[in-house]
């Protein structure tokens, strides 16, 4: 009679698990230069896999050919967008750079001199210079990491080739990779694994698909908004608003800050209003649009799967900027939402609660005041992304 297979003790399992986690952390730290191109490859593969699946199923093509067609399709779409938007956008950016010196001169003249309040003298020019230096100190770390990443990604042909090749094989072998990962899961935990992967897949699908559509919608609305009001550089401001939709909770504030400065120092191109009145008009109308965006566009285009409390998103954006630069900023919301799903699963198993129940983990309470919610559907975990 054969000897029974030895079973690892709980201590041995814990030791091996800790060693594997330590090795994973070490390799991530040691080879972190590969992390950004690998994440870009995963994102590219995630976006193109549905296109390859459609070509393979609809036209009965080999998987490799369907993958190649998906890349050609992506290049065609990007080329068409660039041809339509780059020429007018370049003209407006050129005009914006020409007006930059005039804007700075007007700002300095506005803040020149001193004011007295209850015997206290305030040097406006020194305060203005201090404000500029403070803003530079806040922005430079994020911008520095962002541009250093862009320079590495664009300037190094090796990493570009690496990203494209890895994403190509991820799309081509997506089915085999998915089956391989599923076979690694113990049979008793396979239902949980399938449910967790489906929940996380829905989060990222809603984020990528919805965020792109939302950015295009917001860019179009803001461009028309700027044209109607006569706000300078309408197309550039519209494109900026669309890009800032990828920064939930803070994107609106950044856009409004820039638009307010333009409105105050440049004014409207045709409305007969003083600059200060025009600035107040821009602020008021944008606040109305912000509520429309948060209460109508985001719930319907992206859904509520990626919703998080605003303070969590802001902390996630700051942390992501420090850790991964521009990628950390863009992917903060879906990453935190995915971590919430996994954390709820771990929490439920630690305390013997159904991990997929709505009450498996405490949520941060939010005012239930939005009119789109229907009775019996449950409350969202936040008002924004």
Highest mean pLDDT of the ranges 24-33, 87-96, 275-284, 328-337: 275-284
Q: Does residue 150 have a pLDDT over 70?
A: no
Beta-bridge partners for 114? 123
Q: Does residue 312 have a pLDDT over 90?
A: no
Residue 61 within any structural domain of the chain = yes
Cα–Cα distance measured from residue 126 to residue 123, given in angstroms and rounded to the nearest whole number = 6
Q: What is the dihedral of CA 70, 76, 77, 78, to 10 degrees?
A: 110
Q: Does residue 55 have a pLDDT over 60?
A: yes
Q: Does residue 99 have a pLDDT over 70?
A: no
- B/e letters for 26-36, b = 16+ CB within 10 Å, e = fewer, are eeeeeeeeeeb
Alpha carbon 323 to chain centroid, angstroms: 14
Residue 199 within any structural domain of the chain = no
| Chain segment 100-121, per-residue pLDDT in tens | 556 656 655 665 655 555 556 6
The beta strand positions in the chain, using DSSP E, are 114-117, 120-123
Into how many domains does the chain fold? Answer: 1
Residue 303 within any structural domain of the chain = no
Mean pLDDT, rounded, for 351-375: 54
Q: Does residue 372 have a pLDDT over 80?
A: no
Cα–Cα distance measured from residue 327 to residue 312, given in angstroms and rounded to the nearest whole number = 17
Residue 357: strand, helix, or coil: coil
pLDDT at 62 (0 to 100): 93
| Chain segment 172-196, per-residue pLDDT in tens | 998 899 899 999 998 988 999 999 9
Q: What is the dihedral of CA 91, 93, 95, 97, to 10 degrees?
A: -150
Q: How confident is the model at residue 285 (pLDDT cuts 50, 70, 90)?
A: very high
Residue 204 within any structural domain of the chain = no
User: Higher confidence at residue 56 or residue 4?
Assistant: 56
Residue 356: CA atoms inside 13 Å, Cβ hemisphere, count? 10
Beta-bridge partners for 122? 115
Q: How confident is the model at residue 322 (pLDDT cuts 50, 70, 90)?
A: confident
Q: Does residue 279 have a pLDDT over 80?
A: yes
Q: Which helix (H) or strand (E) holds 42?
A: helix 35-59
Q: Does residue 205 have a pLDDT over 80?
A: yes
Mean pLDDT, rounded, for 123-147: 53
pLDDT at 379 (0 to 100): 41
User: Higher confidence at residue 186 or residue 36?
Assistant: 186
Q: Which residue has the tokens 């900027």?
A: 321
pLDDT at 115 (0 to 100): 58
Percent of the chain with pLDDT strictly greater than 90: 22
Q: By residue range, what is the domain housing residue 178? A: 34-94+121-184
Q: Does residue 283 have a pLDDT over 50?
A: yes
Mean pLDDT, rounded, for 276-280: 92
Q: What rounded mean pLDDT belongs to the chain?
A: 77
Residue 152 within any structural domain of the chain = yes
Residue 78 within any structural domain of the chain = yes
Q: How confident is the model at residue 79 (pLDDT cuts 50, 70, 90)?
A: confident
Cα–Cα distance measured from residue 271 to residue 174, given in angstroms and rounded to the nearest whole number = 56
Q: Which residues contact 7 (CB under 8 A, 6 or more apart)?
A: none
Residue 170 within any structural domain of the chain = yes
Mean pLDDT, rounded, for 33-45: 85
């Amino acid at each position: 009679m054969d000897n029974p297979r030895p079973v690892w003790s709980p201590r041995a399992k814990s030791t091996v698990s800790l060693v594997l986690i330590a090795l994973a952390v070490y390799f991530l730290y040691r080879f972190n230069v590969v992390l950004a191109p690998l994440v870009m490859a995963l994102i590219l593969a995630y976006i193109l896999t549905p296109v390859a699946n459609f070509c393979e199923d609809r036209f009965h093509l080999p998987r490799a050919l369907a993958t190649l067609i998906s890349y050609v399709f992506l290049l065609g779409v990007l080329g068409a967008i660039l041809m339509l938007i780059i020429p007018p956008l370049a003209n407006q950016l050129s005009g914006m750079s020409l007006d930059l010196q005039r804007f700075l001169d007007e700002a300095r003249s506005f803040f020149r001199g001193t004011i007295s309040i209850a015997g206290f003298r305030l040097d406006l020019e020194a305060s203005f210079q201090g404000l500029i230096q403070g803003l530079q100190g806040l922005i430079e770390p994020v911008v520095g990491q962002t541009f250093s990443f862009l320079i590495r990604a664009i300037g190094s042909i090796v990493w570009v080739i690496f990203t494209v090749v890895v994403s190509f094989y991820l799309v081509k072998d997506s089915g085999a990779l998915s089956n391989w990962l599923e076979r690694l899961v113990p049979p008793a935990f396979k239902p949980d694994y399938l449910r967790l992967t489906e929940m996380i897949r829905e989060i990222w699908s809603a984020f990528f698909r919805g965020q792109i559509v939302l950015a295009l919608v917001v860019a179009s609305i803001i461009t028309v908004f700027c044209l109607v009001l006569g706000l300078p550089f309408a197309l550039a401001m519209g494109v900026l608003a669309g890009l800032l939709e990828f920064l939930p909770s803070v994107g609106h504030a950044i856009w409004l800050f820039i638009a307010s400065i333009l409105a105050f120092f440049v004014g409207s191109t045709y409305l007969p209003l003083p600059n200060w009145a025009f600035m107040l008009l821009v602020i008021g109308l944008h606040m109305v649009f912000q509520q429309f965006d948060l209460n109508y566009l985001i719930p319907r285009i992206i859904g509520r799967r990626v919703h998080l409390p605003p303070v969590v998103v802001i902390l996630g954006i700051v942390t992501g900027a420090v850790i991964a630069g521009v990628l950390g900023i863009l992917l903060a919301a879906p990453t935190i939402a995915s971590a919430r799903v996994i954390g709820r699963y771990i929490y439920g198993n630690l305390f013997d609660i159904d991990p997929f129940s709505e009450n498996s983990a405490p949520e941060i309470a939010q005012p239930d005041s939005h009119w789109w919610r229907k009775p019996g559907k449950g409350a969202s975990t936040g008002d924004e992304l």
